[in-house]
Amino acid sequence: MAGELVSVEHCLENHLPEQELKEVKRILYGREHAPIEIPEDAQKLAQQHNFEVKSYQITAKKEELTPPRLVRIGLVQNSIAAETTAPVGVQRSALHNKISRITEAAALCGVNVLCYQEAWTMPFAFCTREKQPWCEFAEDADCGPTTQLCQELAQKYNMVIVSPILERDSIHGDTLWNTAVVISNNGHVLGKTRKNHIPRVGDFNESTYYMEGDTGHVVFQTQFGRLAVNICYGRHHPQNWMMYGINGAEIVFNPSATVGALR
C-alpha cells in the first residue's frame, strides 16, 4: 500500500541524519547496546513468515570474583494471524502456528528464555468490554492446548517459555484470570502467576473480564536464573517490582498488549 508506515524506526532511519538519529534513539530507548549478529537461518525464517528479528547485547558491571552468567532472553510482540470474525478455534490455531515459527527463529538465535506477549492467543479484545466471543479464548493454564504446545516447544528447543494467556479456572466456577504460565526447558509446567493490577482507565476496564490475581509475587527457579512475570499494568506500581526483587527474582518480564496512555 502506497504511503504505508512500515515502522517508526524505519521512518526515523530514512529521514534523520545519523547523529540526530542516534540521539533520538537514546531518548526513546536509553543507552545504546551493541547488536548481535542474527544467524542466516533465522533471518530467512523471519523473511519467509513476515516478522522481524532484532538482537542486542546488554552487559552488566563485571565482578572481580564471580564469573559472568550469559543468558539469552527473547521477547515477542505479535499481531493477530486471522480475521477477528473467524471462528475462535481458527484464530487460536493461526496464532499457534505463527508463534511456533517465531519460537523456532528464537531457538536459531540461541535464546534460553522466551516470553510471549500478554494474552497472545487472542486479539486483545478487553477494550471492547464485550464478553462474546472473547471469553471463549480462555483455557486451562495447566493442561490446555496452548500450554501443551508450549511444553512441546520448550522441550524441543531446550528453552524456558513464559506464556501469558486468558485462563479459565474450571475448578472454581470457570473464573477467568489474566495469567502467565511458566514452562521449564524440559517441558514441565513450573507454575503460573496472575496479573496483580487491573487497569480501570476511563472506559477501559479489564475487570469486565477478570479481577486482580491471587498468586502474589511468584518467583520461578529455572536453569537460566530466577524469573518473575509482572504482567502489563503492574509495571506502573513500583512496589510490585520491589516485591519480585525481595522474593529473589533476577529477571522480571513485563508482557504487555497496550497502546497510548496506558503504556
What pLDDT is stored for residue 3 in this prediction? 63
31 and 135 share a domain? no
The verdict on residue 203 lying in a domain is: yes
* Global confidence as pTM: 0.91
Contact 92, 145 (CB under 8 A): yes
148 and 206 share a domain? yes
28 and 143 share a domain? no
CA distance 147 to 151: 6
- Report in angstroms the alpha-carbon separations of 44 from 39, 40, 51, 73, 154: 9, 6, 10, 21, 22
The verdict on residue 175 lying in a domain is: yes
Catalytic residue among 98, 109, 118, 167: 118
186 and 152 share a domain? yes
As for how many domains the chain has, the answer is 2
Catalytic residue among 135, 192, 195, 206: 195
Q: What is the mean pLDDT of residues 126-133?
A: 91
- Look up 136 and say whether it is catalytic: no
CA distance 45 to 108: 10
The verdict on residue 145 lying in a domain is: yes
- Cite the DSSP H helix spans in 30-165: 40-49, 88-108, 145-157
- Look up 13 and say whether it is catalytic: no
Q: Residue 139 phi/psi, 5° resolution? A: -150, 170
24 and 53 share a domain? no
- Look up 167 and say whether it is catalytic: no
Per-residue pLDDT tens over the stretch 133-156: 999 999 999 999 999 999 999 999
| Higher per-residue confidence, 106 vs 62 | 106
